[in-house]
Structure 1
Amino acid sequence: MNAAQPLDRLPFEPAHLRWRNRYTSMGLPFAHRQPGQALPNPRWVAVSDAASADLGWPTDWWQHPGALDAFSAGTPWPGMDTAATVYSGHQFGVWAGQLGDGRALLLGEVETPDGARELQLKGSGMTPYSRRADGRAVLRSSIREFLCSEAMHALGIPTTRALALTASDLPVRRERAETAAVVTRVAPSFVRFGHFEHFCHHVRDGDYTALRRLADFVIDHHYPACREAAQPVAAMLAEVARRTAGLLADWQAVGFCHGVMNTDNLSILGLTIDYGPFGFLDGFDPMHVCNHSDEQGRYAYARQPQVAYWNLRALAQALVPLIDGDKEQIGAVLSDALSVYPDTFTRQLGQRMRAKLGLATEQDGDQTLIDDLMRLMARHQTDYTLTWRLLADHRIGAVGPVAPEPVRDLFLDGEGFDAWIVRYDERLRAEGSMDAERRARMQAVNPRYILRNHLAETAIRLAEAGDYSEVQRLHRALSRPFDEQPEHAAYAELPPAWASSLEISCSS
């Protein structure tokens, strides 16, 4: 990226931005105000034009003098109010106690055409919640978060965004010597399930004032319709359950594995948050574990929906002090709120999977058709993304080995696939499906490009050698995941053999 341009060529002026700092203004114990620890000699790695536009900022905002420093944890812009927030949580199903923003600083909220958005720096140095860590993020994990945040947004999946990524030669020690980086993240709110758990479990003399203030804050600013309910907090829980169910349906449909679904890593707004040891499925394995640190496989792909429900139950438990009624009444109210999750998840996942098959209607036997295809895929470890994408090219009547299709080549058992495709063909005929129309619909929901681990790894290795061009090129390709993009066709190919040896851990 180019060096800063003269100010008189830039219409963007940080001093004119309208900032609000609603969460930070609640002060202790919610947020600890402090400055960041600036990266020495920072440089730009990448900036998201799409995230910039959504903020209402020009694409060249990063060229403003002082921008590089401000977004590398240096001197903040006027109106920013840097602070770290405290939360707790269950990690791998075990209560971990107090956690918090150990390497992140909330900058505040900026007004955008779509409402207020919080900006947060990740990798900005030590805070009171760093727990003996250095408060830094490494370039490797920062590239992964930048790319995947924006890739998920382009896929239409609720997520925190990544506005910018800066890097430095500052040494950081993880499994090996690495260098530091800072990601600027954007979201309507960074409040997590763990924020509520913290203020439920850290109380004195049964005083839940802080927990009540947090719930009021979230309801007033993010779920105002819940204020009219007889039990506003329970209504909020039901809405969180609904959004979380939709999010998990999105993840499962696209083959995304979060890898560390702790309660402190689930958003109260149903956003994908905290991109650490994540991964998209290559060969389909329902029990795939993308996090090398997850030795028990708690967060395997197939277990994610149930884990999300477990986490919602932990959130519900944290809200008990705010629900009116006796023990039995409280249990009934919370159970009713949580019941939104399984019904919503099942319905929405079914809708997404039928859409992936190009089915325009819902008919008896659809779920069996879907399940049987996924069993075939699991048996033969067929590439998850390519299978769905190539299936869009199916032509009614082109079935069996005499009319082979590219998707058939992904299955070792061609006869098994042939038997399934005949049933699929019959299902399409039953609703009068037209090839061209169905193909367009399927290509609009089945991506051609995802952030495969080997693609991220290639970009990371080049970036660690000082070449950021592959990060930027991959970012551009992932911003249009459903388009053919002949110039980026190599990104859509089957992963190389070495990709299976990549390990992603909690430090990634």
Structure 2
Amino acid sequence: MTSHQALADSVQAPLLAGWRNGFAALGPAFFTELRPTPLPSPHWVGASDDVAALLGLPQDWQRRDDALQAFTGNALPPGSRPLASVYSGHQFGVWAGQLGDGRAILLGETADGLELQLKGCGRTPYSRMGDGRAVLRSSIREFLCSEAMHALGIPTTRALCVTGSPAPVVREEIETAAVVTRVAPSFIRFGHFEHFAARGQQAELRRLADYVIDRYYPECRGGANPCAALLRAVSERTAALMARWQAAGFCHGVMNTDNMSILGLTIDYGPFQFLDAFDPGHICNHSDAQGRYAFDRQPGVAWWNLLCLAQAMLPLVGEVETARAALSTYEETFVAELLRRMRAKLGLQQPREGDGALVDALLRLLAAGRVDYPIFWRRLSHAVAAGDFEPVRDLFADRAAFDAWLLSYEELLALDGQAIAADLMLKTNPRFVLRNHLGEQAIRAAKLGDFSELQTLQKLLARPFDEHPGHEAHAGFPPDWASTISISCSS
């Protein structure tokens, strides 16, 4: 090898080229520029090859020290422009005033229009007495769930990687630090609009709305009232997201207005949970003493949050009646989208008048028996394929009630064809979801330096509808100790 060849081989291509900084162009009222705070002795915890490919990272990126340092916040990728954005919001239904990125820093935007954000990389002006750090436990949960939700077809921010450090972080106990690299087209929230509206900064409010419309909702620009069109589009995306959450049995846990994406994405994974037993009133966040964010309240809370967004946008929209009209399709969109998704879970291809009543009756049965939600749907899928419903009946204490429901269901199956229905159901009802106890097992192992369980979960959750023979335990009933897992806002 010549010296010129050796030199060429030793020069690494940049991790990411062609950075853009669209959000930064909004101006200094929207953010504070600052660098992440370094962490000592960083190491890789987990990474998503899927997101790396989406970003166009080089194949050897996980073997590169510059990547490890960049995604821990210890060094800046060339061309990035780190900043923390300011926003406000309602937390647990109460106006909290100014908030902002208290432990997240936006590195910038790639040439393909994806923003990269480091979560857990130190204090910002918006930390509100916090330490600006994230712990390994919560970082693993967010990393796994972001990618699991994507695989389920639920709109979400993505997660490129998690890095860890032995640096101590104080929560309920002393834990170790970690950083999640999050990826999304935008991290703009309802709270960004609320911030400028509350301060009477109408020029900035207008600039923000114009940016969101031009970048993410260009179809809204052509009408007589683009801001009203934006409000309607956000409302309908949010309604569709809520339908996906409810159908999947997903509880977010902290649906503050500052945790609501203007793009209708699932954002800010904290005390989330996928349902085990079907309990419509389940509260997954142990900080939620009043149950504001219980599972069955999520669609209503989203509507309340949209009213807050509409109030913030009123100076741009104009009349109150115009804003009301923009939100008027929320309930219709939610109901139609939820019913469509529940039909798919049941394998029903053709909409029929009695579908809603069939779904409602089934959900009442599941709630009455506290039937395991993921296992019920997967067993039902296999039962339709095999023509044997006995394994499903075994899940119900009141078998007579289930049998009565089954008669109505089988009549509809006969109309659509069981083979076609089974194929749809097995592609709709996952075998694997990120139950709390599965995440906890991966976290406990990772704290001891063993990331094998995390990697196993990644593999299963990336293809949740496949059978994955040999992993029956990951698809089984939760152990008794799962009910003792406590997840709060600090998680």
When normalised by structure 2's length, the TM-score is 0.96
Confirm whether residue 186 of structure 1 aligns to residue 197 of structure 2: no
- For residue 379 of structure 2, what is the amino acid of its counterpart? L
Give the equivalent residue in structure 2 for 1:507.
490
Confirm whether residue 428 of structure 1 aligns to residue 421 of structure 2: no
The question of whether the paired residues in 2 share the 8 Å contact of 1:451 and 1:478 is answered with: yes
For 2:95 and 2:205, the matched residues in 1 are separated by: 18
Question: Offset at 1:309?
Answer: 0.4
Map 1:204-283; keep pairs closer than 5 Å. Answer: 207-283=201-277
The question of whether the paired residues in 2 share the 8 Å contact of 1:47 and 1:163 is answered with: yes
Give the equivalent residue in structure 2 for 1:3.
none
The question of whether the paired residues in 1 share the 8 Å contact of 2:384 and 2:421 is answered with: no
Confirm whether residue 411 of structure 1 aligns to residue 396 of structure 2: yes
Question: Offset at 1:56?
Answer: 2.4
Give the equivalent residue in structure 2 for 1:316.
310
Question: Offset at 1:473?
Answer: 1.4
The question of whether the paired residues in 2 share the 8 Å contact of 1:12 and 1:58 is answered with: no
The question of whether the paired residues in 1 share the 8 Å contact of 2:251 and 2:284 is answered with: yes
- For residue 78 of structure 1, what is the amino acid of its counterpart? P
Question: Offset at 1:91?
Answer: 0.4
Confirm whether residue 482 of structure 1 aligns to residue 465 of structure 2: yes
Give the equivalent residue in structure 1 for 2:151.
154
For 1:420 and 1:428, the matched residues in 2 are separated by: 13
Give the equivalent residue in structure 2 for 1:350.
339
The question of whether the paired residues in 1 share the 8 Å contact of 2:213 and 2:230 is answered with: yes
The structure 2 residue matched to 1:453, chosen from 429, 436, 439, is 436
Q: More displaced, 330-339 or 189-198?
A: 330-339
Give the equivalent residue in structure 2 for 1:106.
106
Give the equivalent residue in structure 2 for 1:303.
297
Are residues 451 and 15 of structure 1, via their aligned partners in 2, closer, same or farther at CA, if it must alter by over 3 Å?
A: closer
Confirm whether residue 36 of structure 1 aligns to residue 21 of structure 2: no
The structure 2 residue matched to 1:133, chosen from 110, 130, 133, is 130
For 1:478 and 1:8, the matched residues in 2 are separated by: 39
For 2:59 and 2:369, the matched residues in 1 are separated by: 45
Give the equivalent residue in structure 1 for 2:426.
443
Are residues 272 and 358 of structure 1, via their aligned partners in 2, closer, same or farther at CA, if it must alter by over 3 Å?
A: same
**SS of equivalent to 1:394:** helix
Give the equivalent residue in structure 1 for 2:380.
391
Aligned-pair identity (%): 58
Give the equivalent residue in structure 2 for 1:74.
74
For 1:360 and 1:10, the matched residues in 2 are separated by: 57
Are residues 9 and 160 of structure 1, via their aligned partners in 2, closer, same or farther at CA, if it must alter by over 3 Å?
A: farther
Are residues 397 and 209 of structure 1, via their aligned partners in 2, closer, same or farther at CA, if it must alter by over 3 Å?
A: closer
- For residue 79 of structure 2, what is the amino acid of its counterpart? G
The question of whether the paired residues in 2 share the 8 Å contact of 1:154 and 1:478 is answered with: yes
For 1:16 and 1:387, the matched residues in 2 are separated by: 44
Confirm whether residue 45 of structure 1 aligns to residue 45 of structure 2: yes
| Structure 1: tracts of 5 or more residues without a match | 1-5, 325-329
For 1:140 and 1:191, the matched residues in 2 are separated by: 25
**SS of equivalent to 1:455:** helix
Q: Structure 1, residues 45-96: CA drift from partner, whole Å, max 9, x if none?
A: 0110111112222443232331100100111111110000000000010000
- For residue 352 of structure 1, what is the amino acid of its counterpart? R
- For residue 478 of structure 1, what is the amino acid of its counterpart? L
- For residue 144 of structure 2, what is the amino acid of its counterpart? L
Are residues 492 and 285 of structure 1, via their aligned partners in 2, closer, same or farther at CA, if it must alter by over 3 Å?
A: same
Q: More displaced, 348-357 or 388-397?
A: 388-397
Q: Structure 1, residues 208-235: CA drift from partner, whole Å, max 9, x if none?
A: 1111111111111111111111111111
**SS of equivalent to 1:410:** coil
The question of whether the paired residues in 2 share the 8 Å contact of 1:101 and 1:130 is answered with: yes
Q: More displaced, 464-473 or 262-271?
A: 464-473
Confirm whether residue 288 of structure 1 aligns to residue 282 of structure 2: yes
Question: Offset at 1:419?
Answer: 1.3
- For residue 13 of structure 1, what is the amino acid of its counterpart? A
Q: Please, what is the CA RMSD of the aligned residues?
A: 1.7
Question: Offset at 1:393?
Answer: 2.2
Are residues 65 and 419 of structure 1, via their aligned partners in 2, closer, same or farther at CA, if it must alter by over 3 Å?
A: same
- For residue 151 of structure 1, what is the amino acid of its counterpart? A
- For residue 330 of structure 2, what is the amino acid of its counterpart? Y
**SS of equivalent to 1:478:** helix
For 1:145 and 1:100, the matched residues in 2 are separated by: 19
The question of whether the paired residues in 1 share the 8 Å contact of 2:385 and 2:422 is answered with: no
| Structure 2: tracts of 5 or more residues without a match | 1-5
Are residues 7 and 245 of structure 1, via their aligned partners in 2, closer, same or farther at CA, if it must alter by over 3 Å?
A: farther
Q: More displaced, 140-149 or 60-69?
A: 60-69
**SS of equivalent to 1:14:** coil
Are residues 304 and 428 of structure 1, via their aligned partners in 2, closer, same or farther at CA, if it must alter by over 3 Å?
A: same
For 1:359 and 1:299, the matched residues in 2 are separated by: 31
Q: More displaced, 489-498 or 56-65?
A: 56-65
Deviating 4+ runs (over 3 angstroms):
6-12, 395-398
For 2:429 and 2:276, the matched residues in 1 are separated by: 14
Give the equivalent residue in structure 2 for 1:473.
456
Question: Offset at 1:414?
Answer: 1.4
Q: Structure 1, residues 140-171: CA drift from partner, whole Å, max 9, x if none?
A: 00000000000000000000000010000000
Give the equivalent residue in structure 2 for 1:142.
139
For 2:317 and 2:413, the matched residues in 1 are separated by: 49
Are residues 71 and 397 of structure 1, via their aligned partners in 2, closer, same or farther at CA, if it must alter by over 3 Å?
A: closer
Are residues 367 and 176 of structure 1, via their aligned partners in 2, closer, same or farther at CA, if it must alter by over 3 Å?
A: same
Q: Structure 1, residues 12-60: CA drift from partner, whole Å, max 9, x if none?
A: 7226611101111333110110000011110000110111112222443
The question of whether the paired residues in 1 share the 8 Å contact of 2:345 and 2:429 is answered with: yes
**SS of equivalent to 1:274:** coil
- For residue 181 of structure 2, what is the amino acid of its counterpart? T
Question: Offset at 1:488?
Answer: 2.3
When normalised by structure 1's length, the TM-score is 0.93
The question of whether the paired residues in 2 share the 8 Å contact of 1:396 and 1:428 is answered with: no
**SS of equivalent to 1:97:** strand
